[in-house]
Structure 1
């Protein structure tokens, strides 16, 4: 079982000492784009070792921005951390370059998969293992193929001709080639068929349960994320408005209404929900 997860109220004590139970912490983070647009405001999130933590929220809530900050790639979109810190294994890492973060074990699978389309599946995996020795890369490759047998069957196929689901498998497999300590997945179910989503989520659960890997899962599909997560945070307009165990969030009436599409009156469309009502409940 993962370590206990600090809540928003307990992250970052009076002296700002790191919590020893956390592998990764965002501590009072504020992120601004183009010196004008505040994307993240005073967010604190804790990710314990060996657990799955879900970041939930609608488009534009700030989920992907947090992952970009964690991966050191905010600069590509003129983003800056103006306040707060990101700590990994008790050390400040928000100032490190992306390649150094990967070497330390922080690896992200970005939204949209972004495989190398002109390379084969095998060549894509080789690119993912560039930080490892040849022997380590061979071992990781075998593990990837055991998780995704379809990649083994089509290992000589050009990645650009694969289906969306196969490309998502490859993107995750390429990330696993680095032997990550923490794997961040940005919208892994986006645009995929239900059967493929089932397989992807089976693998995510296996990464935690069998490989003891820590997973930070960013999703709009709240139901799927809460089904396998240990803990969750809900973001709205750059702020954490609700957090708790996955079971607690799934049972919360507001979460059921606004994110799972269920209310006492039955299933409803999110379009039927007034935005001001959500803000009044959580941000007032």
Structure 2
């Protein structure tokens, strides 16, 4: 059956049957496959421990730092195999990862953090990228001389995204960009992500626990459980899926359920049977 929600042509990023093991013993991913086409926002959804962040670490070449290893499968980006490339080479090819927790240089200023992200660019390109980031996040222009460690969580997230954008990526991989932020700030961050896709045609791979927020801006989503992809489809289809509505959006028969009811979703997931 043809999936009419998938764009025609070659994907920019294709992950096929990926298996990742930590410490030679703990299987974190099993047979994970998905595609990201140019200009799409693709979301990886699921609870803590589902394997979403491990996917981003695998495609960005940083599994070694946590004793992780790709045991089988392949990762193809822009026609090249990424499995054995270094993280620096992957960034140089235009795939940039914004990790969970932001991980800024806390003792450096906002602008110094941004400049680090564009370290390989010439002076003119660096200036253009700074202007672009400051236009996207005007608050950072006001804070450009402030020490990053003293910023609010939302401002730090803006710096982390801005630092990634300094290198003019082809794919921006975001790990939980709304984690720990106030609802109004989350709305602002997600609106900027939508803007990057809409206005700049930037391809975005979004890891997120907040399914409602992610499905509101994504073109397509993959739902993960226990290191496997269990359900996939367009965001529109998934928002209408009764299991997704009940177990991830907390909605049943048009009403929001209590969190106590939502927490029992594992017992009755029809796509796991």
Residue of structure 2 equivalent to 1:72: 61
Output the TM-score relative to the length of structure 1. 0.91
| In structure 2, C-alpha distance between the alignment counterparts of 1:236 and 1:278, rounded to whole Å | 14
How far the C-alpha of 1:134 sits from its partner, in A, is 1.5
Given that residues 258 and 270 in structure 1 are in contact (C-alpha distance below 8 angstroms), is that contact kept between their aligned partners in structure 2?
Answer: no
2:134 paired residue among 129, 145, 168: 145
Given that residues 119 and 159 in structure 1 are in contact (C-alpha distance below 8 angstroms), is that contact kept between their aligned partners in structure 2?
Answer: yes
| In structure 1, C-alpha distance between the alignment counterparts of 2:64 and 2:260, rounded to whole Å | 34
Q: Report whether the alignment pairs 1:226 with 2:227.
A: no
| In structure 2, C-alpha distance between the alignment counterparts of 1:192 and 1:71, rounded to whole Å | 25
Q: Report whether the alignment pairs 1:277 with 2:273.
A: no
Q: Report whether the alignment pairs 1:181 with 2:170.
A: yes
| In structure 1, C-alpha distance between the alignment counterparts of 2:148 and 2:272, rounded to whole Å | 45
- Runs of 4+ with >3 A deviation: none
Per-residue CA distance 1:62-94 (angstroms, 9 max, x = gap): 000000001100011111111100000121111
Per-residue CA distance 1:190-247 (angstroms, 9 max, x = gap): 1111111111111101111111100000000000000000000000001111000001
Q: What secondary structure is seen at the aligned counterpart in 2 of 1:200? A: helix
Q: What secondary structure is seen at the aligned counterpart in 1 of 2:200? A: coil
How far the C-alpha of 1:270 sits from its partner, in A, is 4.3
Residue of structure 1 equivalent to 2:203: 214
Per-residue CA distance 1:143-188 (angstroms, 9 max, x = gap): 0000000000111001011000000000000000011000000000
| In structure 2, C-alpha distance between the alignment counterparts of 1:20 and 1:237, rounded to whole Å | 31
| In structure 1, C-alpha distance between the alignment counterparts of 2:61 and 2:272, rounded to whole Å | 29
Gaps of 5+ in 1: 7-18
Output the TM-score relative to the length of structure 2. 0.95
Structure 1 residues 1-284: aligned runs within 5 Å: 5=6, 20-264=9-253, 266-272=255-261, 273-274=263-264, 276-279=266-269, 281-284=270-273
Given that residues 4 and 48 in structure 1 are in contact (C-alpha distance below 8 angstroms), is that contact kept between their aligned partners in structure 2?
Answer: no
Per-residue CA distance 1:8-49 (angstroms, 9 max, x = gap): xxxxxxxxxxx9420001111011111111110101010000
Change (3 A) 1:100 1:122: same
Given that residues 5 and 234 in structure 2 are in contact (C-alpha distance below 8 angstroms), is that contact kept between their aligned partners in structure 1?
Answer: no
Given that residues 106 and 181 in structure 1 are in contact (C-alpha distance below 8 angstroms), is that contact kept between their aligned partners in structure 2?
Answer: yes
Equivalent residue pairs, number: 269
Gaps of 5+ in 2: none
| In structure 2, C-alpha distance between the alignment counterparts of 1:229 and 1:265, rounded to whole Å | 22
Change (3 A) 1:49 1:157: same
